[in-house]
Chains A and B, each alone.
Chain A
Amino acid sequence: MIIALLTSAALAAGFHAGIPVQGVSGLGAPTFHDASTGWSAPVLGADGQPLGVARVYVAPTTAAAAAWAEDAARAVQAPLVPLPSFGDAALANAGALVARDGNVAIAVSVSGSDPQGPARSLLAAIVDAPAAWPQAPTLRPVDGGWAIVSPGAVGWTITGGQRPLGQPDTWSELPQEIVAWDAWGRAAVMRP
């Protein structure tokens, strides 16, 4: 099956720190999902209107990135074809592109434009430093509950928990899961 190309090709490729979640040309503000899904950002046209979406997964392993890319390719209803010279492996059609470069996988879906442009921007933005994976967040007791401590995090995905109205940083009931994202789109998970 053609999707398997994403898994089989060049699994031993480089291990990257990730892609900056801010500042990639043509992308809007990031949204962070769960640790196995990655983050996404709208692909914006010259007029600032959304053309589609770019999804990024900075995986802890190359195999995990390949599996993510397979999942992304499966969700495209029209046929995909191999796209040579695009990361370690890539599949694409007129509006969708899925690619993997080492432990980084991307998927771009756009309407009315070529997905290769934003995909190239993403792959070009891959960085290899800092190499160290971010630390999992911790909790600090505060008046009325707990506060999340995650130095260097630029975003969080929090499941469950409860905050009093008007106290955005105080958790009166602990979350089930806290995912902290660093500036390169890597997730560090804490399950209190």
Chain B
Amino acid sequence: MLILLSLLLACGDKDGGDDTSSATDDTGNPGDGGGTGADGGTSGDGGGTSGDGGGTGDGGGTGDGGTEPPPDPALVGVTGGGRVLDPLRGSALSYTATVQPSSFGVLLDAVVVDGSGAVVTVLADDLAPTLDPMDPSLAALDVAWDGRSGDGVPAAPGVYTVTFTLHDGAGLTWGEQGADTFVVRTGVVAGTWGQSELEDDERVPLLWHKAAGASPYWSDAGTTAAFQLEAVSSGEGAKEVATQVPAPWDDLETPPDGWEGVNLPQAFAWDSRPTLTLSLGGDLGPSGKAVSWAASIEGWELIDGSVTSGTLVFRKAEALTDTLGVREGSLSLVLSADEQVVATQEVPYRIYALMGPATFDSDVSPHLAWVAAVDQALRGIEGVEPTDAAVLDALIEWVFTESDLRYDTRSGASYYMSYSGGWTGGRFNFRGFLDRTSGTIVNCSDCSGIAGVFANMLGVGLDYSIILSNFQLNEIKAIGVDDYTSCPFGPSGCGFSYHAVTTNDLSETIWDATLALDGDKDPGSEPWTELLVQSIPGAEYLERLVRSGRADYYYDDSRVRIQ
């Protein structure tokens, strides 16, 4: 009944204020209509309010001609325009139509129309506005648009208008207003780490060792992009979806055979402030000029480029980390227009935080940081202090205590290391070692090669040194062996013809992954105090290792090569 009454009021308003007054008078007390609010919800409530505030029923003032006629129903305003919407990445936008209280009983439609005026979708159909509890003089209707048609098809980039129409049930329109919205497509299509040539943006080349083709080695050269996507979205119609930056490539041995689904891990010096250059794709449409675009990643600074230029160069605000290790996570790239978030896109990453580039004598493939090596080594020594000594100490402990290796107590033969052209030509079959193609038995040359390769791949320079020759041993505990002995090859084999260790200062300091020494005052007999060979002075090392015979360090600036 109230609706009918309101419609009558509305018709009267449309026809003229005097008639409205008259109609109100005729009804005696429009405030009674509030009682029907139970029937009509918002409209009914509004009717009651109208009656209360208008005073038409209370005092008959209208009839007296001493009060203003109730205002016409009117669409006061529409908010929510001028914004940008990416139907594939952003959340829906809200739009609010505000109407005058005298419009209670009237209804609102809201539709989205494209630039040609065609209706894309209907957001509201004959919905009544809701009274604003804080301001009874106003009522409002909220709608939301997710940027899609009624069939769920994302709208193409362009300008769209969310149009509210205030009308009554009798077909009369009391107002129409629209809010323009820019529909866009956003997203990154390529990302490259490093390459800024800034001093502390030190990207380290990575190498995969089971590539296809004539060489098993493939390196990113420290310059290759991390990912290259074909477009910011894929699929058509209702099936169009935003493309995502893939998770980091998790095959540590084999590189991808193309860019699809690829996001290569990266390596940096631990104290780098890496840069990340993102290439944007998509279509900003007219929004590129109509609004102010911005881009951000928390904890990173935008040092070059802009959304409208299509290139963003971010730089980490602080050093990558304060320890060595594997850093994995995801960066949230936020694109905003006029300070309103339009899209958020995740950029997953895996970064190996090393001491620096590989420190072999050669700086080309295969003498680079192998993904399979740095991944396992960094996880093995995760969190180690970024000093050469700390890294080497941790590596020795990791190899000696956590590997599956066992010393060759039959013959002391090497399985992965060989010397070519004399003691200085140490070559380590690291590819074979990673697969244990020759088994898990090793000797000192192997262990010096293992320590040397891992250390140099982590960016810690480490040479090997040869102790010569034919000396008798104090008590040692060889890698993978449970007991101390001075005769590692049995009763008739109580010495080494040579021994290989590692050093970074011409044998002043020794690291040895082959054996543990007896660390007490008497290294030649029980009891035994296990002493891992970590940063031990060269003279002390020989003193604890050698029972008798001449032994000294030679060739101690030799750096292992990968064969």
Q: How far is the CB of A54 from chain B (nearest CB, A)?
A: 9
Contacting residues, chain A, for B439 (C-beta < 8 A)? 42, 49-53, 111
Contacting residues, chain A, for B366 (C-beta < 8 A)? 159
Is B286 close to A, CB under 8 A?
no
Which of chain B's residues 412-431 have a Cβ closer than 8 Å to chain A? 412-423, 425, 427, 429, 431
In this complex, the member of A37, A72, A156 whose beta carbon has the largest number of chain B beta carbons within 10 angstroms is: A37
Contacting residues, chain A, for B213 (C-beta < 8 A)? 163, 168-169
In the complex the two chains form, what is the Cα distance from A182 to B224 in whole Å? Answer: 33
Is A165 close to B, CB under 8 A?
yes
Q: Which 10 A-B pairs have the closest CB atoms?
A: A168-B213, A77-B412, A95-B411, A160-B364, A96-B413, A109-B413, A53-B438, A78-B412, A95-B410, A158-B215
Please classify how large the interface on chain A is, using the bins under 10, 10 to 19, 20 to 34, 35 or more: 35 or more
Q: How far is the CB of A6 from chain B (nearest CB, A)?
A: 14
Is B408 close to A, CB under 8 A?
yes
Q: Which of B365, B412, B437, B563 contacts A37 (CB 8 A)?
A: B563
Complex contact A156–B215 (CB within 8 A):
yes
Contacting residues, chain A, for B412 (C-beta < 8 A)? 76-78, 96
Q: How far is the CB of B73 from chain A (nearest CB, A)?
A: 65
Q: How far is the CB of A100 from chain B (nearest CB, A)?
A: 15
Contacting residues, chain A, for B97 (C-beta < 8 A)? none
Is A191 close to B, CB under 8 A?
no
Is B498 close to A, CB under 8 A?
yes
Which of chain B's residues 38-52 have a Cβ closer than 8 Å to chain A? none
Mark each residue of chain A from 7 to 38: 1 if its CB lies under 8 Å from any CB of chain B, else 0: 00000000000000000000010010110110
In the complex the two chains form, what is the Cα distance from A177 to B411 in whole Å? Answer: 35
Contacting residues, chain A, for B266 (C-beta < 8 A)? none
In the complex the two chains form, what is the Cα distance from A77 to B419 in whole Å? Answer: 13
Q: How far is the CB of A77 from chain B (nearest CB, A)?
A: 3
Contacting residues, chain B, for A67 (C-beta < 8 A)? 421
Complex contact B365–A160 (CB within 8 A):
yes
Is A120 close to B, CB under 8 A?
no
- Closest residue on chain B to residue A155 by CB atoms: B214
Complex contact A71–B364 (CB within 8 A):
no
In the complex the two chains form, what is the Cα distance from A71 to B424 in whole Å? Answer: 10
Complex contact A166–B256 (CB within 8 A):
yes
Q: Which of B211, B441, B498 contacts A77 (CB 8 A)?
A: B498
Is A61 close to B, CB under 8 A?
no
Contacting residues, chain B, for A94 (C-beta < 8 A)? 410-411
Is A186 close to B, CB under 8 A?
no
Is A93 close to B, CB under 8 A?
yes
In the complex the two chains form, what is the Cα distance from A163 to B207 in whole Å? Answer: 12
Q: Which of B214, B259, B411, B497 contacts A158 (CB 8 A)?
A: B214
Q: Which of A34, A161, A176 contacts B427 (CB 8 A)?
A: A34
Is A148 close to B, CB under 8 A?
yes
Is B169 close to A, CB under 8 A?
no
Beyond A75-B418, A93-B411, is A169–B214 a contact (Cβ under 8 Å)? Answer: yes
In the complex the two chains form, what is the Cα distance from A3 to B563 in whole Å? Answer: 24
Complex contact A168–B211 (CB within 8 A):
yes
Q: Which of A28, A68, A72, A77 contacts B437 (CB 8 A)?
A: A28
In the complex the two chains form, what is the Cα distance from A170 to B6 in whole Å? Answer: 80
Is A62 close to B, CB under 8 A?
no
